[in-house]
A and B are shown apart, each in its own frame.
Chain A
Amino acid sequence: MRYAMAIDTKKCVGCSDCVVACQTENNVPIGYCRDWIVEVVDGTYPQLELEIRSERCNHCDNSPCVRCCPTGASHVEEGGFVLVTHNKCIGCGACIASCPYDARYPHPDGYVDKCTFCMHRVTKGQLPACVATCPTKCMYFGDLDDPNSPVSLVLKNRKHKTLIPEAGTKPQLYYLI
C-alpha cells in the first residue's frame, strides 16, 4: 500500500480552500499552515501561462526529514505517511532544514508540524480534508498499489510531474500538467 496525491493544475484556481480546510480539520493555529498555494506566471502580455499549485509535504519515499531526525519523532507509517510524533519531537529543526519543499514549520507548542495526508481520516476510509472540500475537484488521492484507485488512474492517463525531482527524495505528490 502506497498513498499518493495528484493535483490537476489545469483545474486548480488557487482559492486556498485546501489551506483553510486543513487548518480547521487539523486545528492548525491561525498564522500557520500545512499546505499553501503557489502561482507561477510565464511569458509576456498577452502571451502568458499561469500554473497554480496547491503544495504540501510530498510524503517522499526517500525522506531526508526522517533520516536526519535525532529522536525518531519523524517517521514513516505503513502506507507511506511521513509523520511527526509530537511528544517525541524536541523542535531542533533539522528536518525543517532538510526538506527541499519547505513543508515543515515549527508549531508554537514546540514541535515540528506538517501535512499528515490526513491519516486520521484516510484510515477511516475518508479522503484528506483538502481533497474532500476542493471546489474544483482538482485533487486525487489513493493507493498507488491499486491500479484502479483514482490517483493511479489519473496518473496513467495524464501527463504529470513532481517538484524538485533532482533532490532525489522520490516525492509522492504529483502535478497533472
Chain B
Amino acid sequence: MATRRQFLKTSALGLGGISIGLSAFKYVSDFTGLQQNAADLTVNLTRTPTYCEICFWKCAGWVYKKEDGSIWKITGNEEDQHSNGRFCPRGTGGVGMYTDKDRLKTPLIRTGERGKHEFREASWEEALDMVADNMKKLSSQYGPECVALLNHGSGGKYFSDLLKAFGSTNIAAPSYAQCRGPREVAFVNTFGELIESPERTDIRDSKCLVLIGSHIGENMHNGQVQEVSDAIDKGVSIITVDPRFSVVASKSKFWLPIKPATDLALLLSWIHVLINEGWYDKDYVEKNTYGLDLLKEHVKTMTPEWAYGITTIKPDVIRETAKEMFNASPAVIIHPGRHVTWYGDDTQRLRAVAILNALLGSWGRRGGFYNPAVASVPNYPHPPFPTPSRTWRDAFPGQFNLADETLASGLCDATIPAPTRSCSFKAWLVSGTNLINTLPDQAKTLEAIKSLEFIAVIDTMPMEITSWADVILPECTYLERYDTLRVSPHRKPAIALRMPAMEPKDNTKSAYWIAREIASRLGLLEYFPFEKLEDYLDWQLKQIGSSLEEMQKIGVKTFEREQDDMYFQPGEQHEFFTPTGKIELYSTSFAEEGFDPMPVYTPHPEPPEGYYRLNYGRAPMHTFSRTSNNPNLNDLMDENALWINPKVAKDWGLKKDQRIWLQNQDGKISNFSIKVRVTERIRWDSVYMVHGFGHATKQLSRTYGKGISDTEMITNVMTDPIMGGTGMRGNFVTFLTEKPEEVAS
C-alpha cells in the first residue's frame, strides 16, 4: 500500500519554483448550483483550443493561461467525442512538455562518434542545408527511394508529404508492426474493414466486454476508459483474460488468470463452445458469414477440456464465460486490443477474436462495433507524387503481402546491407519516435543506424535516437504550433483545431515549417503551397463552411452523420469488403497466401528454470518512453518497478524496493537496476514492468537511469509471417542481485 508519506518522499526530490499562493477565499452567497463542466471562463484569462499530442488519442481541449502569460492548465473540450470535456493525466500534465528544461533548444550537428551525443549548435540554415544536401546526394547515387521516414504523431504528415514528393514511399510508424497491425489485418480479412483509432468499439452500450490482455484504465485511452466507466454504471459484465491481476481485472465479473502465451487456445475453445452449444446469432451468421461448417469441423476437438490443459482455465469457467457472452449478444465486445504484437502468431489470435465477434453478431450492432463516420475535409490540390521505382516490399519478396502499412521493423531490417538485396536504405528521417526504445532487438536497430550514410532526427526532446543523429532539428511542442485538423473516425464526424497557446520556445520550429524549408531546398515547394499552415487551415475550413476564426473560438466542430448507418438496419443485406462479400470465418485470402485459413494453436516456448516471462504494459500517466522526463508526469511516476509474485520473491530472498538487475535468455544484462515490487497481482511464471523507463540518455535529467527499459531486454523477436509484426513477449529474464561488472555507473 502506498502511503502519502511515501508519495511525498519519492516525489519531493525536485522542487519546482511556482509560488502563487491562493489568498483567502470570499464566500459568494448567491450560489446557484453546480454545473457538470470543467471550463473556467474567468475574465482576464485567455484560452486557446488544442488537441493533445501526448498520446495518439488526440483529445481536444483548452489551454488556459495565467495573467503573466504562462500556461495555467489544460482541460478537455466538452464538444469533443474523444475526451467529453475530461482530459486524462497525460493531457492534463501536457504543460510539462512545454516547460521541460531538458528540451531540444536549437539545431545540432554531430561532432563526435554516432551514439555519443556530441554535437555543436548550428543555425537552421546550416542544419536544413545539410539535410537537403544529403538527400540530394544520396538520391543521385542510389535513387530517392533510398531515403526512409520513420515517424509518429502529427508532424509525420508533413515529412510524409515531403518524402512522397521527393520520390520515396518508404514511410513507416512503429504503431503498425510493433503495435496494432495484427488486429487490423485480422479484422480486414474477416469483416473487410479496419478497427482504426479511436477504436470503433461501442463500449458504452455493451453488456459484456471481454478483454484479452488489454489493460484498459492502465492504458489511458481516454474515451475508451470513460465508456468502460459508463458501462460499469449500467451493469456491464467484464471478462478479463490476463496472467496479471490488472486494474480492470479487479473490476471484472470474471478474471481468467491464464497461463501466459496460451490465449489462442482459450479463444478457440470459446468458439467450439459457442458453435456446439448453439450459443451464436444464427440468423446473423447464416445471412452474413462464410465458412461456418468449415469452422465447426476445424474446432471440433478444441474442447474446454483440451484448452484447460493448455491455459489452466477450468472447463466450467470457459463454458460459463461463453454463455455470459452469448447472453449479452449482440451487445458484446471481444475487444481487439491495441498493442497486440506478442508471440508472432498474433494475426491468427486476433482472427479468433474477430470470429468470436462474428458468431455473436456484434459487428455493426449496438453495444458491439459501430460503423464510424469521418468528416470530409478537402485537401489543397498539389501535383501528383512521383511513382517510386521500388519500395520496401522489394526487400521482402513474397513476404508480408497482407500487411497494409509499411513495417518500421522492415525498414530497419532492409537498412542493413545484405547480399540478397540489391539496395538498402541509406538515409533516415526520424520524426517523433524514439526508435531505440520502440523497436525490439536494439542491437539490430543500432546495426541499421550504423550502416546509414545519413540520419536526421526531428523531435522536441533529447532521446536515445537523437544521440545517433547526424543532425537534430528541434521541433516546438504541440502547445506552440498549428497543425493539420484532427479528422478522426467516431460516432459523429468531427474536426478539431490545434493552435499555438505560446510562441515557440528557444530556437525551435514547427514540423510544418521544417518540412517546407527542406522541400524548398529540394525544389519541391509546389507541394507546400502555403507559407503558413494557418492559411491552409483557413482555406480548408472555408471549403466546409467554417473558418479559422470560428474554430479558434470553438475548437471542435461536430457534424451530423449523413446516413443513419451507425449500426446495421433490420433486414439490411450488408455487403462486406472481403473476397466473398461475407464475414469470413474461413479466410479465403489467408488460404490463398498459404496461411491457415482458420486459426491454429501452436505452443510457444516457456521460460527455462530460474527465468520468468517478461511482460510489460502501460501506466496511465505515461506514453511510451516519451513522457518519463515530463516534470508533471515524472512527479506522478518517476520510475518503473518489477512486479514479482511473493512466492518467487521468497525463493530468491527478494524484498520490497530492493534493487536488482535483469539478464535475459540471450545473456543481455540490463543497463540499470529496477526496484522490486512484491505483489500477489502477478503469476509466479512471469514478471511485469511498465514500458518506457530505463532511459540511457543523460540529457534527460529527471529520468536518466531510472528503472529498466523492457525494450532493451527484448532480444528475441517472433515475427508474424502474415504481416510482419514483431512479437515481443517471448523473452525470459532472471534476477541479478549484485551489480554486474559490465553495467555503467
Residues on A lying within 8 angstroms of B by beta carbon are: 1, 10-11, 13-17, 19-21, 23-27, 29-33, 36-41, 43-46, 48-50, 52, 55, 77-79, 81, 83, 85-87, 102-103, 105, 107-109, 111, 116, 119-127, 129, 132-138, 141-142, 149-150
Are A41 and B11 neighbours in the complex by a CB distance under 8 Å?
Answer: no
Are A21 and B22 neighbours in the complex by a CB distance under 8 Å?
Answer: no
Residues in A neighbouring B32, C-beta threshold 8 A: 125
Residues in B neighbouring A40, C-beta threshold 8 A: 1
Are A26 and B22 neighbours in the complex by a CB distance under 8 Å?
Answer: yes
Are B35 and A127 neighbours in the complex by a CB distance under 8 Å?
Answer: yes
Are B86 and A132 neighbours in the complex by a CB distance under 8 Å?
Answer: yes
Q: How far is the CB of A117 from chain B (nearest CB, A)?
A: 10
Are B28 and A126 neighbours in the complex by a CB distance under 8 Å?
Answer: no
With beta carbons under 8 angstroms apart, the residue of B2, B27, B222, B637 that contacts A123 is B27
Q: Is B652 an interface residue (CB 8 A)?
A: no
Are A17 and B1 neighbours in the complex by a CB distance under 8 Å?
Answer: no
With beta carbons under 8 angstroms apart, the residue of A24, A27, A46, A126 that contacts B92 is A24
Nearest 6 CB-CB pairings of A with B? A13-B217, A15-B620, A132-B38, A50-B250, A30-B16, A24-B73
Closest A residue to B42 using CB positions: A124
In the bound complex, what is the Cα–Cα distance between A52 and B72 (angstroms)?
28
Are B19 and A119 neighbours in the complex by a CB distance under 8 Å?
Answer: no
Also in contact, A16 and B621, with CB within 8 A (given A24-B632, A120-B22): yes
Are B632 and A23 neighbours in the complex by a CB distance under 8 Å?
Answer: yes
Are A15 and B1 neighbours in the complex by a CB distance under 8 Å?
Answer: no
In the bound complex, what is the Cα–Cα distance between A19 and B157 (angstroms)?
34
Q: How far is the CB of B636 from chain A (nearest CB, A)?
A: 5
Pick from A45, A85, A103 the residue with the most CB of B within 10 Å.
A45
Are A20 and B8 neighbours in the complex by a CB distance under 8 Å?
Answer: no
In the bound complex, what is the Cα–Cα distance between A10 and B236 (angstroms)?
12
Closest B residue to A18 using CB positions: B89
With beta carbons under 8 angstroms apart, the residue of A16, A49, A105, A138 that contacts B8 is A105
Q: How far is the CB of B532 from chain A (nearest CB, A)?
A: 30
Contact digits for B12-26, partner A, Cβ 8 Å, 1 yes 0 no:
111111111111110
Q: How far is the CB of B370 from chain A (nearest CB, A)?
A: 21
Are B15 and A108 neighbours in the complex by a CB distance under 8 Å?
Answer: yes
Are B27 and A41 neighbours in the complex by a CB distance under 8 Å?
Answer: no
Are B2 and A39 neighbours in the complex by a CB distance under 8 Å?
Answer: yes
- The stretch of B336-344, B349-357, B442-450, B678-686 in contact with A is B678-686
If A30-B631, A41-B681, A132-B86 are given as contacts, then 11 extra A-B residue pairs at C-beta distance below 8 Å, sorted by A number, are: A15-B220, A17-B620, A30-B632, A37-B2, A52-B250, A123-B25, A123-B31, A126-B35, A133-B87, A134-B86, A137-B226
Are A32 and B8 neighbours in the complex by a CB distance under 8 Å?
Answer: yes
Are B245 and A45 neighbours in the complex by a CB distance under 8 Å?
Answer: yes
Pick from A13, A20, A23, A83 the residue with the most CB of B within 10 Å.
A20
Are A15 and B89 neighbours in the complex by a CB distance under 8 Å?
Answer: yes
With beta carbons under 8 angstroms apart, the residue of A11, A13, A14, A77 that contacts B25 is A77
Q: Is the interface of B mostly helix, strand, loop or mixed?
A: loop
Q: How far is the CB of B320 from chain A (nearest CB, A)?
A: 16
Contact digits for B243-273, partner A, Cβ 8 Å, 1 yes 0 no:
0010110110001010000000000000000
In the bound complex, what is the Cα–Cα distance between A77 and B32 (angstroms)?
17
Are A135 and B88 neighbours in the complex by a CB distance under 8 Å?
Answer: yes
Q: Is B744 an interface residue (CB 8 A)?
A: no
Q: How far is the CB of A103 from chain B (nearest CB, A)?
A: 8
Q: Is B600 an interface residue (CB 8 A)?
A: no
Are A102 and B3 neighbours in the complex by a CB distance under 8 Å?
Answer: yes
Residues in B neighbouring A108, C-beta threshold 8 A: 15, 19
Interface size of B by Cβ–Cβ distance < 8 Å? 80
Also in contact, A142 and B34, with CB within 8 A (given A41-B680, A48-B680, A86-B23): yes
In the bound complex, what is the Cα–Cα distance between A152 and B546 (angstroms)?
43
Are B11 and A31 neighbours in the complex by a CB distance under 8 Å?
Answer: yes
In the bound complex, what is the Cα–Cα distance between A27 and B688 (angstroms)?
35
Are B245 and A50 neighbours in the complex by a CB distance under 8 Å?
Answer: yes
Residues in B neighbouring A41, C-beta threshold 8 A: 1, 245, 679-681
Closest A residue to B312 using CB positions: A46
Q: List 16 A-B contacts (CB under 8 A).
A: A13-B620, A15-B217, A23-B635, A29-B17, A29-B19, A31-B15, A32-B12, A37-B2, A38-B2, A41-B1, A107-B21, A125-B32, A125-B35, A126-B35, A132-B37, A137-B230
Residues in B neighbouring A120, C-beta threshold 8 A: 22, 25
Q: Is B218 an interface residue (CB 8 A)?
A: yes
Q: How far is the CB of A71 from chain B (nearest CB, A)?
A: 13
Closest A residue to B217 using CB positions: A13
In the bound complex, what is the Cα–Cα distance between A18 and B679 (angstroms)?
25
In the bound complex, what is the Cα–Cα distance between A32 and B681 (angstroms)?
29
Residues in B neighbouring A48, C-beta threshold 8 A: 245, 250, 255, 680-681
Closest A residue to B17 using CB positions: A29
Contact digits for B730-743, partner A, Cβ 8 Å, 1 yes 0 no:
00000000000000
Residues in B neighbouring A16, C-beta threshold 8 A: 89, 620-621, 636-637
Residues in B neighbouring A136, C-beta threshold 8 A: 217, 225-226, 228-229
Q: Is B577 an interface residue (CB 8 A)?
A: no
In the bound complex, what is the Cα–Cα distance between A103 and B4 (angstroms)?
8
Q: Is B722 an interface residue (CB 8 A)?
A: no
Closest B residue to A29 using CB positions: B16
Closest A residue to B250 using CB positions: A50
Q: How far is the CB of B366 from chain A (nearest CB, A)?
A: 21
Are A11 and B232 neighbours in the complex by a CB distance under 8 Å?
Answer: yes
Residues in B neighbouring A87, C-beta threshold 8 A: 21, 23-24
Residues in A neighbouring B217, C-beta threshold 8 A: 13-15, 136
Also in contact, A45 and B683, with CB within 8 A (given A29-B19, A38-B1, A109-B19): yes
Are B88 and A15 neighbours in the complex by a CB distance under 8 Å?
Answer: yes
With beta carbons under 8 angstroms apart, the residue of B12, B38, B621 that contacts A20 is B621
Closest B residue to A48 using CB positions: B245
Q: How far is the CB of B229 from chain A (nearest CB, A)?
A: 4
Also in contact, A116 and B25, with CB within 8 A (given A105-B8, A108-B19): yes
In the bound complex, what is the Cα–Cα distance between A19 and B14 (angstroms)?
17
Also in contact, A17 and B88, with CB within 8 A (given A102-B4, A123-B28): yes
Q: How far is the CB of B680 from chain A (nearest CB, A)?
A: 5
Q: Is B95 an interface residue (CB 8 A)?
A: yes
Residues in A neighbouring B87, C-beta threshold 8 A: 17, 21, 133, 135
With beta carbons under 8 angstroms apart, the residue of B31, B247, B636 that contacts A19 is B636
Q: How far is the CB of A74 from chain B (nearest CB, A)?
A: 12
Residues in B neighbouring A141, C-beta threshold 8 A: 34
Residues in A neighbouring B631, C-beta threshold 8 A: 30
Are A125 and B33 neighbours in the complex by a CB distance under 8 Å?
Answer: yes
